[in-house]
Structure 1
Amino acid sequence: MSIRSGSNAALVVVDVQVDVVANAWERDRIVANVALAVRRARDAGVVVVWVQHDDAELKYDTSGWAWVPELSPLPTEPLVRKHFNSAFEGTELDSLLDGLGVAHVFLAGAATNWCIRATAYAALERGFDVTLLSDAHTTEDMVLSSGRVIEAQSVVDDLNIALRWLAYPGRANAAAPTAEVEFGSRTEG
């Protein structure tokens, strides 16, 4: 049972923008799964919240800042602009979700190791139940200064495992494939 007072769920789609996912691991499959999640959430009457990043490298209102062509927010769906990794920091996301009576966040998007991880942990720390859509988030391989490569798939696997096994008092968290989640339910597990 969530420690948030609401009883609704929301799908939060983070940074599935042209330049963010241009070189992402399994880009087409992941974007298709995000699109599936959006359709399934809408069909279940679950609000879809769109979070879009901008900063010095990803400039507002440029072609690289735009949503990927496969995704189209509806005019009635909330849009949140962010400037930090967590979708909660310096944004109205928390108050928006609170106003909608949301206690359970379904999470999808990019990049796994930055914005998805930070948003998932921030949601848990703010008392939300969180279900990470295990096949609907991605990132790029990271080449370290030593030349060693941290493969994107390993980063995705790591966060999926973490969201299955983390424990926060009074909250439920999980990682589950998009096709298997019940968007109308408060917890997955």
Structure 2
Amino acid sequence: MATIREGNKAALVVVDVQVGVMNGTWEAARVIGNIAHAVERARAENIPVLWVQHTDEEMPTDSPQWQWVPELVPAAGEPRIHKHFNSSFEQTSLSEELAALEVSHIVLAGAATNWCIRATAYGVLERGYDLTLISDAHTTGSIELENGSTIEAATIVQDLNIAMQWLSYPDRTNGIASAEQINFARPGGEQ
């Protein structure tokens, strides 16, 4: 059973908006712009912004692919969490950073929708936090299957938005909102 987080303090968690992740994703420029807008809004409202950065064999630390996209720059003092697995919680300092900030509501954006965003979103709910997924601030690439069919990236994004809107967890609130309509004070939805 999850420990339900008390209070109503939000944080924006930006996951893996790195050169090597965003290269070739669906509508990358639009999504990066929406994430940048959400970051600006969070900062203006004194909402903590936490940055999660993935490292693996294809994106070794400090490589060009590992770097944040040029449009997004973590500010001094904003926590940076380094990960090696899909979930931003697994073997990272994210839980400790959120606890130190007394966060109960996570607003989530980044990439890739079907891997790290999905794993992190479920991790948020399973750990007792409220969740708002920014519906127009996450992306991925299309997947070509062995049988020759393709799962389009837009469909993957839409699927996760639907799931996060309709999932039900006890004593938690979850939902989606656009980068323009996000309400950091209201878990799971828009203004």
Verify same fold: TM over 0.5.
yes
Determine if the alignment matches structure 1 residue 136 to structure 2 residue 129: no
State the alpha-carbon separation in 2 of the partners of residues 168 and 185 from structure 1: 17
> Comparing both chains, which one has the higher relative contact order based on Cα–Cα distances under 8 Å and sequence gaps of 6 or more?
1
2:5 matched to which residue of 1?
4
Residue correspondences, number: 188
Question: 1:17-40 CA distances to partner (integer Å, 9 max, x unpaired)?
Answer: 001001000000000000000000
State the alpha-carbon separation in 2 of the partners of residues 179 and 3 from structure 1: 28
2:16 matched to which residue of 1?
15
Shift of 1:145: 1.3
State the alpha-carbon separation in 2 of the partners of residues 155 and 186 from structure 1: 23
User: Aligned with 2:66: secondary structure?
Assistant: coil
User: Aligned with 1:10: secondary structure?
Assistant: strand
Aligned partners of 1:141 and 1:149 also within 8 Å: yes
Consecutive unaligned residues in structure 1, runs of 5 or more: none
Determine if the alignment matches structure 1 residue 148 to structure 2 residue 149: yes
State the alpha-carbon separation in 2 of the partners of residues 109 and 144 from structure 1: 24
Question: 1:76-111 CA distances to partner (integer Å, 9 max, x unpaired)?
Answer: 100000000000001010111011000000000000
State the alpha-carbon separation in 2 of the partners of residues 139 and 186 from structure 1: 24
1:170 matched to which residue of 2?
171
Question: 1:47-99 CA distances to partner (integer Å, 9 max, x unpaired)?
Answer: 00000000111111111100000000001100000000000001010111011
Please report the TM-score for the alignment, with normalisation by the length of structure 1: 0.96
Shift of 1:184: 3.4
2:124 matched to which residue of 1?
123
Determine if the alignment matches structure 1 residue 53 to structure 2 residue 86: no
The percent of aligned pairs where both chains have the same amino acid is: 54
Runs of 4+ in 1 over 6 A off after TM superposition: none
Aligned partners of 2:175 and 2:187 also within 8 Å: no
State the alpha-carbon separation in 1 of the partners of residues 31 and 73 from structure 2: 15
Please report the TM-score for the alignment, with normalisation by the length of structure 2: 0.95
- Root mean square deviation of aligned Cα: 1.2
Shift of 1:146: 1.3
2:74 matched to which residue of 1?
73
Paired letter, 2:48: V
Aligned partners of 1:174 and 1:188 also within 8 Å: yes
Paired letter, 1:101: E
Aligned partners of 2:131 and 2:187 also within 8 Å: no
Shift of 1:153: 0.2
